[in-house]
Homo-oligomer: A and B are copies of this chain.
Amino acid sequence: MDIKAGLLKKDKRAAARLISMVENGETEAVRIIKECYSMTGHARIIGITGPPGAGKSTVTDKLVKLLRKSGKQVGVVAVDPTSPFTGGAILGDRVRMTDLSCDPGVFIRSMGTRGALGGLSKAANGAVMVLDIFGMDYIFIETVGVGQSEVDIVKFADTVVMVMVPGLGDDIQAIKAGIMEIGDIFAVNKSDRDGSERTAAEIEAMLDFNRNEEYRPPVLNIIARDNTGVAELLELIENHWKYLNESGSFRQKKTKRLRTEIMNIFRDMVMRTVYSLGGGTNIIDELAEKVMERQLDPYSAADILLDEFTKNRKDNY
């Protein structure tokens, strides 16, 4: 299969294949993305995050359907860190499969079975690049907002929608501040439940401490299940997009994102070279043994590692 040609012909199988190659860390995938990179930059990337059970998948599905009505091409990358308890990815995927994935203008990819979260972030980011090359107008990244790794995935989006839900607990403060801070829009889903107004009020109270004076994230009560407030949510997403462009913070945000992306790739390349040093023998183990015997100190060991690295630098990817 000629993947590059397939992508240009809008063949979804080519995109699916390339994402799999990215997930598996195949060198060939990087080569193709490199060649096609100039085709990226068209898609709007929207992050959907929030606590488990907030209804993120439903919100995403309804937004996708609304965008489809106006003819937009939409990609969805659903990241569900493997959890032996929830198995969320599998179920969520099935629900979507029956519904949206027959639509030729929609591409859905779930990532939930990979062990390493670092790897998941890299794979998710790669999938977004592939869908951008593919020509999607909108790309959704959906992830559970429970830890730093998930935040790392979703904060690359242009607009982050934080999906909240009433009755999360006594106190909205329980949600880690670092996670709340990445929200550009707050949607209190399942707002037919008791306490939805209170949850919205608590979010507003929290936003009073927001440091960005130019932009205050709006808070919206919605019931995604029956489409209540979904059109308004999309409007808020469009407004945030306008704000990003008009304020000039879009370019700043994108550059910051790219900076992090370059550094992540760089770090990855360095570590891959280091772990491959010494051929069959493991140079790091050898150095640790020498430090253990006090023949060497850890700083000098790191010096030696850097010498070896400089001498043996691998051609990257």
Taking Cβ atoms with an 8 Å cutoff, the residues of A that contact B are 30, 33-34, 37-38, 40-41, 148, 251, 254-256, 258-259, 261-263, 265-267, 269-270, 274, 284-285, 287-289, 291-292, 294, 297-303, 305-306, 310, 313, 316-317
Contacts and interface: CB of A to CB of B under 8 A. Distances in A.
A241 to B, nearest CB: 17
B292 A255 contact: yes
Given A37-B297, A261-B298, A266-B274, 7 more contacts: A37-B294, A37-B298, A262-B302, A269-B302, A270-B270, A299-B317, A310-B313
Contact of A306 (B30, B148, B255, B316): B316
Nearest to A313: B310
A265 B302 contact: yes
Contacts of A33: 297, 299
A251 B302 contact: no
A285 B317 CA distance: 22
A292 B38 contact: no
A212 to B, nearest CB: 20
A300 to B, nearest CB: 6
Nearest to A129: B298
A9 to B, nearest CB: 22
Given A299-B316, A310-B310, A262 B291 contact: yes
A270 B38 contact: no
Contacts of A263: 274, 284, 302
B285 A255 contact: yes
Contacts of A306: 266, 269-270, 313, 316
Given A269-B306, A270-B270, A306-B269, A298 B38 contact: no
Contacts of A256: 288
Contact of A300 (B34, B254, B259, B294): B34
A26 to B, nearest CB: 13
A298 B122 CA distance: 12
A33 B317 CA distance: 37
Nearest to A305: B266
Contacts of A294: 37-38, 40-41
